[in-house]
């Protein structure tokens, strides 16, 4: 398997623009997670899905952030409008069979977002 | 979710055994202890997980005392490539809360 795939790897945009980050989880995994990492705040869980259903979105910073998982092989994280403080590395992770352990998550390479 | 405390940084030399201890005084009965490793510009990678006593895999060992209020990740004979940030996490289910981690620097 190719692992968790994220796109784009780098994104530079201007304040106010819409940003869409994409994630393809490992085939067969039934849980998907979105994280944000910054030097100041470390690694924060934004939202996670189980069987395509959002289970916990308490980490989503505000209404400008939204996440969807239309099917088991694709998820998006959208920021609209973007602000400079959204600059961070965004990771997508998935978990599921064969280990079946939710705490054994496989992370993608991340998307480095810069908002100017 | 239990809070974890671990050293901010550690230094070691190639070939040495490194032990990183994590404190989790408020661990709940159903909580598991999980360790992740993160290299620069990469996502975290699962290393090992345990509930009690000792767990060993091809990468590391995890020692958990009977009261489970702490745990120690042991890396045998580290190499330069083990330089990374190591995170201790306590919880159950899918909600992993990452702390600040321990930055391990392995020197030649």
Query: From A32, which residue of chain B is nearest by alpha-carbon distance?
Result: B94
Q: What's the pLDDT tens digit per position in B40-65?
A: 989 999 999 999 989 999 999 999 99
Residues found in chain A: 116
Q: What's the pLDDT tens digit per position in A63-91?
A: 999 999 999 999 999 999 999 999 999 99
- On whether the CB atoms of residues B1 and B15 are closer than 8 A, the answer is no
Q: Give the pLDDT of chain B (108 residues) as one tens digit per residue.
A: 568 899 999 999 999 999 999 999 888 888 889 999 999 989 999 999 999 989 999 999 999 999 999 999 999 999 999 999 999 998 766 667 788 899 999 999
Distance from CA of B46 to the nearest CA of A (A): 6
B35 closest CA partner among B88, B71, B101, B93: B88
CB pairs under 8 A between A and B: 57
DSSP code per residue over B74-103: EESS--GGG-EEEEEEEESTT-------EE
Query: From A106, which residue of chain B is nearest by alpha-carbon distance?
Result: B45
CA–CA separation, B42 and B59 (whole Å): 18
Q: What's the pLDDT tens digit per position in A40-62?
A: 988 999 999 999 999 989 999 88
């Amino acid at each position: 398997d190719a692992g968790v795939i994220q796109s784009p790897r780098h994104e530079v945009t201007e304040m106010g623009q819409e940003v869409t980050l994409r994630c393809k989880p490992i085939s067969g995994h039934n849980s998907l997670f979105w994280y944000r990492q910054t030097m100041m705040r470390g690694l924060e869980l934004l939202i996670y899905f189980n069987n395509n259903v959002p289970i916990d979105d308490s980490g989503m910073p505000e209404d400008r952030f939204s996440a969807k998982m239309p099917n088991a092989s694709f998820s998006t994280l959208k920021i609209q409008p973007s602000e400079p403080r959204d600059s961070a590395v965004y990771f997508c992770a998935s978990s599921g069979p064969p280990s079946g352990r939710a705490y054994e998550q496989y992370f993608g390479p991340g998307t480095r977002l810069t908002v100017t | 979710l239990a809070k974890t405390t671990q050293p901010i940084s550690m230094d070691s030399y190639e070939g040495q055994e490194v032990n990183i201890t994590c404190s989790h005084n408020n661990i709940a009965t159903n909580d598991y202890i999980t360790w992740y490793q993160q290299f620069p510009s990469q996502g975290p990678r699962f290393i090992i997980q345990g509930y009690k006593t000792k767990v060993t895999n091809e990468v590391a060992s995890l020692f958990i005392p009977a009261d489970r209020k702490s745990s120690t990740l042991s890396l045998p004979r580290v190499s330069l490539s083990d330089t990374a940030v190591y995170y201790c996490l306590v919880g159950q289910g899918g909600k992993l809360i990452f702390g600040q981690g321990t930055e391990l620097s392995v020197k030649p």
